[in-house]
Amino acid sequence: MRRCAGVPAALISASACAALGTGLLAAALDLARLYVVRSELEACAEAAARAAARELDGTVQGIARALEVAATQAGRARLAVMLSGGAQAAFAASPAGPWRSSLEAAADCRFVKVEASAAVPLLFLPVIGAGASSRVAVTAIAAQTAPGGMPRDRSDPPRDRARLAGG
């Protein structure tokens, strides 16, 4: 019986390719998991920022309500177990900042910034030397809006709605 010289080499190559393919698939699963957690974390931060912005009224009580609502929204998230430190809210008079998280920041605050982060345990990437978990962090900014739906600008005089609607 004649022996084929290329068979062992082909088996070794096929085994190496299968191992490499399995490793890439495992890495893709971990990366996909990070992407999903980031998406859910963004949704959580955006919901908390929008809810907090609705509570702003230029008073210390409005800031306190906004902080409470942001914490409540973060607690409702499906991944609330993974949130490290919950969602942190800060307030500013303009979207550029400066951002303050204290209750005394109430005077002209019309913008809310919610920062949330989560530590995501990795399942397969630690096998190749990556850390056991990866931190995902997001930021969402929302503005207090006027009844018409546009952000209020206190430097502009009030406009007549009928004139704007009629042209």
What would the two tokens of residue 56 be?
């702003």
- Residue 136, H or E segment: strand 133-143
Answer yes or no: is pLDDT of 153 > 60.
Answer: no
Query: pLDDT tens digit string along 81-135?
Result: 565 656 788 888 888 878 887 776 666 788 889 888 888 888 877 777 777 888 8
Residue whose structure tokens are 């307030």 = 91
149 against 79, higher pLDDT: 79
Cβ atoms of 118 and 84 closer than 8 Å: yes
| One-letter identity of residue 73 | Q
- List helix spans (H) across the chain: 7-55, 60-76, 161-166
pTM listed for this prediction: 0.69
Query: pLDDT tens digit string along 21-34?
Result: 777 787 888 888 88
* Separation between Cα atoms, residue 105 and residue 61, nearest integer Å: 11
* Separation between Cα atoms, residue 134 and residue 122, nearest integer Å: 7
User: What are the extents of the domains in the chain?
Assistant: 17-149
* Separation between Cα atoms, residue 96 and residue 99, nearest integer Å: 8
Cβ atoms of 29 and 130 closer than 8 Å: no
- Residue 134, H or E segment: strand 133-143
What would the two tokens of residue 103 be?
């209750």
